[in-house]
Amino acid sequence: MDFRPITTDEMRSLELNAKYLGIIHSLLMQIAGREVARVITDNEDVKDKSIVILSGLGGNGGDGIVAARYLDEAGANVEVFLLGHEKTISSEDTLMNWNILKNLKHISMATLKTESAVKSCKAIGSADIILDGVMGFGLHSKLREPLLTAVKMINKSKAIKYSIDMPTGIDSETGAIHGEAVVANHTISLHATKIGLTLAQKNAGKVHIVTIGIPREAASICGPGDLIIFNQPRSSSAKKGDSGRILVIGGSDVYSGAPALAGMAALRTGSDLVSILAPEPVVSAIREYSPNLMVTSLGTQILQPEVVDTALDMVNGNDVIAFGPGLGTHPETFVAVNSLVKKIVETGKPLVLDADGLKAISSSGIEMNPDNVVLTPHWGELKILMYADLGDSKNQANRIKRSVDAAKQYNCIILLKGSVDVIAHPDGSYKLNRTGVPAMTVGGTGDVLTGIIASLLSRGGNAFKAAAAGAFVSGLAGELAAQELGDHLVATDCIEKIPEVFKTV
């Protein structure tokens, strides 16, 4: 169980990742309802007591409806009031449990569709215990009727008051009270206390944290829940560039495909504008890959020290920098990479460093920032970064340890690519990504990953979250491509499947 207060997005992420692991929301609701009833029966003598459950139309209401069955089993006289019309119940699981109650004659049921209906509900005033299942986490605006009147009626009652997850009326992020809020004697927090509850203690009463069956793995794997913060709808007033301006610095006198793949992946992930800064010999080739890419020449055969200031000018005009795909390993390029990486870090611009760019900064001593810098090595590149024999590359515990070691050494996020990706933070935390297929060993998929992460970074998430979400998106896109093409996919096939991945959230 997680005793650390968590945000609304973190809770939603856990629920989605639990579902990804096969633990459906319906199961979580059954456990939550049982645990709510258990807390009440542990603290109160409920036999022959009048218990009124006020339920909203979402999942919080469903938890209360499930609790009704267990409280009835314990000998209480249970009445359930749905605040609204049953046809507008927003959760399929809540509707299913509401329909179950229709078969149970010992539990009284009614709907309170209007403010006047709530005011005329005498059961609220005469109850021994009231269970508030009206609104849980996720409230960010003023309560509407009949919910507002229900809150007022609950507070007027002399009953002992229990709230599920959050007393109704409290913002689960800020603790702000939106017009009116339930003043509970007890709050039953599901899985973990929500941040807002710690800021509204006078309304919370005694807080009970209960487990609802979300496994620890839901927090440690990369899954659909990691995409929540990156999958918000665009504002109707959005303009060009609001969804990210990405600069890809890469290519050499030999390699043209790598920076193009990173750029096209960033566009498919949702960035508005992608510019590529590349050496002169490959500019024409990169332009041929896609008319959507804006390609600028360095004016030299390779990236070299004398064009660092030119590159920095373009860095300043973009939101995120993807640096390294196809750069090559010329000694002058390595000097230029070191200089440019230092300058990018000084600007505070988010940076994804990959491929030949990684080799260039080995033992450089550059101090980075884990909030906005991601390095994406495979095992061989990690050995170069750490300048050491890292031991068994197939031992998962060793891969995690070495990734964390590298994150601490470079003070950034390390995404160690492999059959199971490791995303490591200098503070020692990590996530594991299991998506992907063997067919993704084809060239270019690492460049696609770089572009995806760069795009996600431009949406305001920190580097750890962007790397975790990016690894999941890249791997699942590969899985979807492989379902159609088997072992015959190429990197561009993965790019075309990126939009489908976002539909999983």
Give, for all 505 residues of the chain, the pLDDT tens digit. Answer: 556 888 888 999 999 999 999 999 999 999 999 999 999 999 999 999 999 999 999 999 999 999 999 999 999 999 999 999 999 998 999 999 999 999 999 999 999 999 999 999 999 999 999 999 999 887 777 888 999 999 999 999 999 999 999 999 998 888 888 789 999 999 999 999 999 888 888 999 999 999 999 999 999 999 999 999 998 888 888 889 889 999 999 999 889 999 999 999 999 999 999 999 999 999 999 999 999 999 999 999 999 999 999 999 999 999 999 999 999 999 999 999 999 999 999 999 999 999 899 999 987 888 899 999 999 999 999 999 998 899 999 999 999 999 999 999 999 999 999 999 999 999 999 999 999 999 999 999 999 999 999 999 999 889 999 999 999 999 999 999 999 999 999 999 999 999 999 998 7
Rg (CA), the chain: 27
Provide the pLDDT for residue 285: 95
Q: What is the DSSP letter of 176?
A: -
Run of H or E residues at 119 = helix 115-119
Query: What phi and psi values does residue 65 have, to the nearest 5 degrees?
Result: -65, -40
Domains identified in the chain and CATH numbers: 8-220 (3.40.50.10260), 244-502 (3.40.1190.20)
* Residue ranges of E strands in 62-179: 77-82, 108-111, 129-133, 160-164
CA 425 distance to own-chain centroid:
16
Structure tokens at 416: 């160690």
Relative to beta strand 108-111, strand 129-133 is unpaired
Torsion (CA) 320, 323, 325, 327 in degrees, nearest 10: 150
Provide the pLDDT for residue 1: 52
Q: 200-251, pLDDT tens digit by residue?
A: 889 999 999 999 999 999 999 999 999 999 988 888 888 898 899 999 999 9
Q: 177-198, pLDDT tens digit by residue?
A: 878 999 999 999 999 999 988 8
Q: What is the DSSP letter of 378?
A: -
Provide the pLDDT for residue 67: 98
- Please classify residue 483 by burial: count the beta carbons closer than 10 Å to its beta carbon, then call 0-12 exposed, 13-18 middle and 19+ buried: exposed
Say if CB 184 and CB 162 are below 8 A apart: yes
Structure tokens at 217: 């793995």
Provide the pLDDT for residue 179: 80
Provide the pLDDT for residue 3: 65
Provide the pLDDT for residue 234: 87
CA 38 distance to own-chain centroid:
31
Measure the CA–CA gap between 252 and 325, rounded to whole angstroms: 9
Measure the CA–CA gap between 272 and 278, rounded to whole angstroms: 20
Helix (H, G, I), strand (E, B), or coil: what is residue 320? strand
